[in-house]
Structure 1
Amino acid sequence: MGNVNTPQNRQLQPSASLEIRLLGPLTVKMDGKTVAIPAKKTRALLAYLARREGVDIARTTLVGLLWGERDETQARASLRQSLSELRGALGAAAEAITASKESVSFARGAAWLDTRILETASTAENDKALGEAAALFAGDFLEGLAIDEPAFDQWQTAERERIRLMILAIHDRLMKQSEHRGNIEEAINHGLKMLSLDPLQEAVHRTLMRLYVMQGRPDAALAQYERCERELADQLGVRPEAETEALMRSIRTSRREGSSRPRTQPPSAAAEKPSLTVLPFANLSTEPEHGFFAQGLTQDVVGALSRIKELLVVSSNAKQASAGIVDLAQDLGVNFVLEGSVRAAGSRIRVAAHLVDGRSGKHVWAERYEGELGDIFAVQDQITQAIALAMQAKLTAGDMARFWEGQTRNLRAWEKMVAARDAFLRFNKSDNEDARRLLEEAISIDPHYTGAMVLHGMTHWWDARFNRSIDRSHSLRLAEEDCRRVLALDPHLGIAQMLRGGIAWLRGEQDQAMEFAQQAVSLVPSDAHSTAFLAMLYMYAGEHGKSSATLKLAQRLCPQYPPWYTYYEAYNHLWTGNLAAALELGRLYHSQEPDEPFAYILLATVLAFQGEKKAAAAMIDELRLRFPGFGMANMHLSQHYREREKFEKVTTLLREAGLPD
């Protein structure tokens, strides 16, 4: 949530006059100017004191650490000399160091200290704080500082390893969150950074292989396997794990099958009407607080174009680049590709956009817009209308009115909505609460912001389905209140119909739920998530043929679709008896969502259906270890089958496998 201030990210930049960086070569600055500390042991002394700020450290500890080979008298004299040199170098900031006859300490908070900031931010839930924490890592702890003292060397090595593990954990969280949001390129970058710190992390190699495949880059995935194989052989003398080998063989097989047949022609829907994909607008802003503009503009342009029934809009998270546009268009089966950039500085914004013919690679239309930040909404209107006209879509008055249905013209409200949407899509209790708070702020700014009202209702719907600590009926009433408010303002808003369908489904009104969801899809035919939501309802209603076909359409609209599409695809295979396909998809979903308890439930269910009782029980054991509070109550809350016997069959098998009530 790029524009939201938190206690963690507010302290990521130096504010104190004294700044000490221990990550990478030791750097000390006073009021922005570098402080020279020539003696190595004096630098080592400062590093040790600062790293243990606020602690009284016995002089005997310091002399043993830095002058272990000298007798005590000489060592204490050397310590006094180094303290004197240090005070002289720090000048006015020397008061941070206090010394008595027995101990020395560095006052807590007396300096901006990168390792402290890193530790604080590493526990943050905020993506921006995590990203900025990762950026603090400029190299190994005290890189290049060697004083040939065994005790100090041992401490330095331990600190390096501890910080390295902390950075790895941060990048791992960022990688998973990026993939969850569909930002595959960003997820890959985090994975590569993890391997630069520890090239032997085989699970990360596998994740990168899978991400490259999601990008349509099987050659890069196989090259990643070769790197993994080489690192393991060179450093450990072992082969990759069976899981890695199996993934490699699967990619090779798919690659051979793909190269042995011509590229598939676009589906009939694409042949019947113009189609396009929108690449993420490049963020050229130098000011961090404006970083959300590119993301928000991309999402809103896609949303607006999706409402034009004469256009087919296929989502894309492909890396933004003019090279390869023709290949990308062919892969996605679209006629056109839209790409652009956003630069915000101060109170001004500049947007460049151009539409490219997917067959020839030639520009069909290009334009540049410049104005005040508040003009962003007028820019969105102009881009959408220009694209529709360039693609010769016949726009009715209704189409024009629906371009920005559910949207706002208030910049501050829009900013809150962009951040809230990002938080909600992480699908956990904490981020759901953050999303709701941001949406309430957006609605207070613009009381007619129907898009924010619907998403606010979705946060209550999510609670009703997944949050055992909240009264379900109360959450559904709150979601329904949001729905009523929206429909009073705009009775034809597609996403409001989707929410109505979700509420009806949780109340056991299956037919009514599907009717509402069908209305949502008819109002916004290119919205992949509304389409996939309808597929989910079909699955629980036992209409597995319809569900599979609808999921395929959603995957067509969103080729780099989120993991939850895979989840319902796996259950369709389960209930139609294709257990091998269900198991393969279950394993894929588990690898995509290792922190999702229902990933373990899915795999345990499929294994139990196959008669693999021990494997199913082992999966439930792992679930209980990872999520001790998860049990049958979660199943009753979230799994609403029309045919009660299906639910009973699943829960009976899970209970036999060890899932507690």
Structure 2
Amino acid sequence: MRYLFEAFAFDTDRRELHRGTDVVSIAPQVFDLLDYLIRNRERVVSKDDLISAIWNGRIVSDAALTTRLNIARSAIGDTGHEQRLIKTLPRKGFRFVGPVLEAQDPAGGVVADNPVEPSKVALTLPDKPSIAVLAFQNMSGDPDQEYFADGMAEDILTGLSRHRWLFVIARNSSFTYKGRAVDVRQVGRELGVRYVLEGSIRRFSTRVRFTAQLVDTATGNHVWGEKYDGKAEDLFDLQDRITEAVVGILEPTIQLAEIERTRRKRPENLGAYDYYLRAQALTDAFTRNSVQAMLNNCLQAITLDPTFAPAYALAARAYIQRHTQGWVVDEPREHAEVLDLVERGLRADRLDPLMLGTAGHCFAWFAHDLAKGIAYIDEALSVNPNHAHAYLQSGVVRTRAGDTEVAIKHLNHARRLSPRDSRGYAIFQALALAHQLGGNLEMASDWAHRAVQHNPNYLPGWVVLASSAASIGRDAEAKAAAQTLLGLDPQFSIRRLIRRYPIAMRDKFEPYYEGLRRAGVPD
């Protein structure tokens, strides 16, 4: 049997690992380890499973097993950080997660001396969004600019690989198409990916223009495209800025495309990721029914795959929405439920930035531990410095901790990373509150207006609009905002607001509460 994945062919009969026409040197024990993981790729195999199969049950140290796994990853171009092909599931085991095609040997058991490169065979798609970043074209006519084009593609690829919900093809596979005219649909088949990012760079006079397109490999249609211009004075600074912008916009773009794809699926064909996407599509509706449906879909995803951390994070977000909208019925029970979800999500994947950031948000809101919340959010940002939602969460929690200067900086960075974010209303509301606490009342009112215009069902937007408008003497506007927020939550009061959210410095929030009193919000 030959197993084909990425640029590799794994031949169990000849006990050889090929990359293209080259044989990769690999120790027998490491070969057996890869063989076992690939054959059992539909499940998580435990440490005991591996020891029984590879070492015949002999006592083996964790260090020895880790060493063999690292060697196996290295042989197939993977790393312990990326875990693109071999994934470690803490306290559970290991799984080969790369898309694999099984190929029988030719009749008679004779294998050609030059095996067929797996890139010529259509690979099955993985069970999460998959993307290949092709080498960008240097349109400058200057060979010396080749390094800049390659560096740009590599940086974007690295930025995307930090999003653990994405399956990102390694550079050594996607760059094999460099300098060739290829159909992206062919690339999709050969690399087993749903999306391809291609681009070009042109330098003229003192400026550089970068063009990028995201293409659906099933149809060949463009999902997204953009041009970026900048001065060529500092190429590396320009490279960093473009990389940040492209990575930031690709995350929501790909998720929207995946949500649309999942909507067309029949319910009986849904997997864990599909249920997660259905929940994702409901996140901005802010109605009781949408929040309940969002939670139900997440719980279905968790049932199908208890190791899928983003589903825990999104389920926790459903509880956050209930909390902010005033829909909590049994506060102690729901707080315990959401904190349990967070702990289970962290056990499932301690490196998922969405899970880490959401854990921080929940520890701040539901355990009233702002310091712990900020620590987890900062960890999310260290794992993925391009994670727009973690910057939003940082701004929200840091505002409550009284650090409005850093909060505003992080919220503006979230806007820069994801300028078309569907969660714009949350960013705008958080900016309004941070500016109001910082004493910039006019700017606070402006951001509050943007928040309620972006999502009129989002109650916190009306709260900060009522307070900021009253604080600058716009009494009629403040009273109208107060009436709207009381329509969304008839039980809303300043006392409930104080109890609902933790704050580090009460005196800093007193003018905010006074603005609500002037607007007519009950004490």
More helix as a share of residues: 1
TM-score by length of 2: 0.49
TM-score by length of 1: 0.40
